[in-house]
Structure 1
Amino acid sequence: MNSWFKSYKGIIFLMAGIIAGSIAGLFLGSKVEVIKPIGDIFLNLLFTAVVPLVFFAISSAIAALDASNKLGRLLGITSLVFVGTVLVAAVITIVAVWIFPVHQHLVASPVTEAIIKKPIGDQLTHLFTTSEFYELLSRKSMLAMIIFSVLTGFATLRSGPKGAAFASFLHGGNEVFKNIFILIMKLGPIGLGAYFAYQVGVFGPQLFGGYARSMALYYGVGAFYFVVLFSVYAFIAGGLKGIKKYWKNNIIPSATAVGTCSSIATIPANLDAAKKMGISDVIANVTIPLGATLHKDGSSISSIVKMAVVFALFGKSFNSAETIAIALAMTVLVSLVEGGIPNGGYIGELLFISAYGFPPEALPPAMIIGTLVDPMATLLNATGDTVAAMLISRFSTGKKWMEGES
């Protein structure tokens, strides 16, 4: 009994904090705003640690490779898995929209946040690069920082014996920041409990407004995808043992994802879970940070739901072959350009509204839905990265990738 409690006490305390916070939010409503700073402090600690953690994880993983084409093959398999799962999520949602049409009498509500439109060239430049080194330290520049981490890893690899000291520094930094995450997560029951209390107390009632039907569709499809499709992916990766290992180690990443509404904040939990699942450090340290930025099954589902709602609002059909083809292409594109920070998907709304030729009035309802589905979307986006890493392990190293793991 003591051994069992020792193994699971972290999960038990975390879930107890989340449940207590949710109950407090349910009964106290907006009064729980007073404890929001506790959750914010916890999130700030996570966000502060995650940028250096991702840098050291990626650069040290690449620096540890041999000089063969192993990384190129790994990235190729990673790309296929990411795109494949995003398209599966989109197709399932399209079928669900056909079976359960969204309500035709939605009312577009105003959104107070300003949206600044920039030329697509400027957006891509800012997405992939920064003009100053210090800007790489911001989580808003995650993709640029990941690219820089890859370059640093390759440069270290090319330096050979002369770069051995720097390679040792990268490996040491990776270990140090993994332990920083472990220390921060000891505050998880309090921090996530406070954040759940705030979310349930303040935002819970919005789910029962005029967008209830589209919310029900999204959360229904999302729950089905989370339970069924992730289990299918885990089975493909490792059979029944793969399913068991995935769900056994997916509790803390799931709680972190829902509590923080951030794929980036879930990276440390995913890296720790991936190790327990038997995924090698090289695969985990490359694919999971990339997945947090580029792999978004939840955003794929929300993109289709947003499109269906906007089409319904403007009295247009969502059934033509051309419309579906554009929708599938947009889901892949949105998965690439959306940020891993809370409510960072507004670029996606702008993209599909422009692609279909809708007027600016189509933006507010799409943004409202994006905000309301954010917890489930982040859950799918973030926890989909570990099951994707399992698939990548299976396809890159063979059926016996879990051999020797407990």
Structure 2
Amino acid sequence: MARFQFYKSYSSIIWLLTGIAAGSIVGLLFGKKIEVIKPLGDIFLNLLFTAVIPLVFFAVASAIANLDRSNKISRVMGIMTLVFLGTVLISAFLTIVATWVFPIHQTIPNTGLPGEIHTVDNFGDQLTTLLTTSEFFNLLSRKSMLSLLIFSTLTGFACLHAGEGGASFRQFLVSGNEVMKSLVVIIMKLGPLGLGSYFAYQTGVFGPELFGTYARSMALYYGFGIFYFFVFFSLYAFIAGGVDGIKKYWRNNIVPSATAVGTCSSIATVPANLEASKNMGVPPYIANITVPLGATLHKDGSSISSIVKMAVVFGMFGKDFTGADTILIALGITVLVSIVEGGIPNGGYIGELLMISVYGFPPEALPPAMIIGTLVDPLATLLNSTGDTVAAMMITRFSEKRVLPPGD
């Protein structure tokens, strides 16, 4: 039974890694002759890019449209938003610093991947292009991802403002979100074949030096991720309740941690997090809001992986990852990734699509980011899930203006 549960939780990752490994071997054996199977990988990428547009719209709009508008809940929601944003931005910025200290993007060989990166010289034009479009149909292009996110956010607030009159549309958004998530799950069934074909092409054409790239990015992610897990989660618990807060957090974090690693799903960890939050002294009215929403909207682990993926992709395309505008956009993307990713296994692929769309990278940038996302998924889920309970502790501290009440 335990073996079956393990396979059920990690089957998608196992099959993806199997496809990637098989593709790598085939690419090494056949060299540049393997280019003939590249269309299989291109078809897979095109399906994902097609699905991401409606998924982002429904995910963002439905999340906002279903917010609670009561006064007490509004205060908790406001503090929750600040805590979520704060921890995500802290984890992202510290990861950027880590990429400067251990510059993996500077040690990555330029792979000569095809495709031009879209750039706009004038900052004002660039800002206008990123945030808006002149025609509605342009929102349906992945090149207008930020414009789509802004439109989705406004649609969600409009639905919220409409009250009962918008109930039917609100339900439509919820149903659409579920359907689009299911569509991505279906498309990802082709992942082993699609990524396997593309990785065969990569290793066949560009050689085995690519493996060193993934090894370095993995070392950076797991090294910094484990450091953040123990040091900064302890710091957040200290802010919430002092030394006693640290003790309560780690004493009750064992079951959620095991559940997160065992299921590789933030959603599946929600019941364990709710029980743990109660034992940590978080009031039910805060835990019942923060934990479920956190499973969808709050992802420190995904924030860290987003920066690592960006550094790798920038290195592969020979681009600098140190400019002020580049860093500001990177921080913005990490926040957006927390919103648009679902708390499902391998939900980070949506964030990868968002990242390469905002920066204007060609589709060839997606497979490397997806491979890294697959390899770091267990630790990312651990950070995403267990970060929700320590966030709930801080929200309690700030909303009730006192240290946490006694827990178990």
Which TM class, normalised by the smaller chain length? 0.5 to 0.7
**1:97 corresponding residue in structure 2:** 99
1:87 is aligned to: 89
Q: Shift of the alpha carbon at 1:40?
A: 5.5
TM (norm. structure 1) is 0.62
Residue 315 of structure 1 aligns to a residue in which SS? Answer: coil
The AA in structure 1 aligned to 2:103 is P
Q: Residues 68 and 266 from structure 1, CA distance in 2 versus in 1: closer, same or farther, beyond 3 angstroms?
A: closer
Q: Closer, same or farther in 2 for the Cα pair 1:292/1:138, shift >3 Å?
A: farther
Distance in structure 2 (CA, Å) of the matches to 1:327 and 1:132: 28
What amino acid sits opposite 1:254 in the alignment?
S
Decide whether aligned partners of structure 1 residues 374 and 315 sit closer, same or farther in structure 2, where only a CA change above 3 A counts: same
What is the rounded CA distance, in whole Å, between the counterparts of 2:358 and 2:343 in structure 1?
A: 23
Q: CA deviation at 1:356?
A: 1.4
Q: CA deviation at 1:134?
A: 6.9
Match of 1:335 among 316, 338, 343: 338
Write out per-residue CA displacement over residues 117-150 of structure 1, whole angstroms, 9 at most, x where no aligned residue.
878559959x975539877888948xxxxxxxxx
Shift of 1:38: 4.0
Q: Could you say which residue in structure 2 is the equivalent of 1:298? A: 301
Given the alignment, which residue of 230, 253, 259 partners 1:256?
Answer: 259
Instruction: Name the CA shift for 1:132/1:405 in 2 (closer, same or farther; >3 Å).
Output: closer
The answer to whether structure 1 residue 235 and structure 2 residue 238 are counterparts is: yes
Does residue 387 of the first structure (1) align with residue 398 of the second (2)?
Answer: no
Amino acid at match of 1:296: K
Could you report, residue by residue, the CA deviation over 1:148-180 in whole angstroms, capped at 9, with x for unpaired residues? xxxxxxxxxxxxxxxxxxxxxxxxxxxxxxxxx
Distance 1:395 1:361, change over 3 A: same
Sort the Cα spacing of 1:42 and 1:229 in 2 relative to 1 into closer, same or farther, 3 A: closer
Alignment partner of 1:285: what SS?
A: helix
Structure 1 CA distance for aligned equivalents of residues 383 and 367 of structure 2: 24
Closer, same or farther: CA 268–336 of 1 in aligned 2, 3 Å: same
Q: CA–CA distance in 2 between the matches of 1:344 and 1:41?
A: 16
Q: 1:270 aligns with which of 268, 273, 283?
A: 273
Which AA in structure 1 matches 2:172? S
Letter of the 2:108 counterpart: Q
In structure 1, distance between residues paired with 2:91 and 2:234 = 14
For 1:355 and 1:238, locate their aligned partners in 2 and report how far apart those are by CA, in whole Å.
Answer: 39
SS of 1:131 mapped into structure 2? helix
User: What is the one-letter code of the residue matched to 1:81?
Assistant: V
**Displacement, 1:70?**
1.1
Mapped to 2, the partners of 1:368 and 1:117 lie a distance apart of 24
* 8 Å Cα contact 1:311/1:318 also seen in 2: yes
**Equivalent AA in structure 1 for residue 71 of structure 2:** N
**Distance in 1 separating the partners of 2:112 and 2:342:** 25
Q: Which residue of 1 aligns with 2:63?
A: none
What CA distance in whole angstroms lies between the structure 1 residues aligned with 2:322 and 2:266? 32
2:360 is matched with which residue?
357
Q: Aligned partners of 2:70, 2:354: CA distance in 1, in Å?
A: 39
Residue 315 (structure 2) aligns with: 312
Query: What is the Cα-based RMSD across aligned positions, in Å?
Result: 3.4
Alpha-carbon separation, structure 2, partners of 1:106 and 1:257: 36
Q: 1:378 aligns with which of 375, 378, 381?
A: 381
Unaligned runs of 5+ residues in structure 1 are 1-16, 22-34, 45-61, 110-115, 142-207
Deviations 1:12-32 (A, max 9, x none): xxxxx9xxx8xxxxxxxxxxx
Match of 2:283 in 1: 280
Is the contact between residue 246 and residue 387 of structure 1 (CA under 8 Å) also seen in structure 2? yes
Deviations 1:374-398 (A, max 9, x none): 0011000000000000000000012
Q: CA deviation at 1:297?
A: 0.4
TM-score normalised to structure 2 length: 0.62
Q: Tell whether the 8 Å contact from 2:110 to 2:317 is kept in structure 1 after alignment.
A: no
2:264 counterpart letter in structure 1: C
Taking the aligned partners of 1:229 and 1:133, their CA distance within structure 2 comes to 34
Q: CA deviation at 1:106?
A: 7.8
Q: Note if contact 2:110-2:318 (Cα within 8 Å) is conserved in structure 1.
A: no
SS at match of 2:322: coil
Partner of 1:71: 73
Question: Given the superposition, is the C-alpha separation of residues 213 and 238 from structure 1 closer, same or farther in structure 2, using an over 3 Å criterion?
Answer: same
**What residue identity is the alignment partner of 2:247?**
K
Structure 1 residues 349 and 130: alpha-carbon distance in aligned structure 2, compared to 1, 3 A threshold: farther
Aligned twin of 2:371 = 368
* 1:397 counterpart residue number: 400
**Given that residues 215 and 373 in structure 1 are in contact (C-alpha distance below 8 angstroms), is that contact kept between their aligned partners in structure 2?**
yes
Change (3 A) 1:133 1:225: closer
Q: Check 1:258–1:75 CA distance in 2 against 1; reply closer, same or farther (3 A cut).
A: same
TM superposition shift of 1:271: 0.4
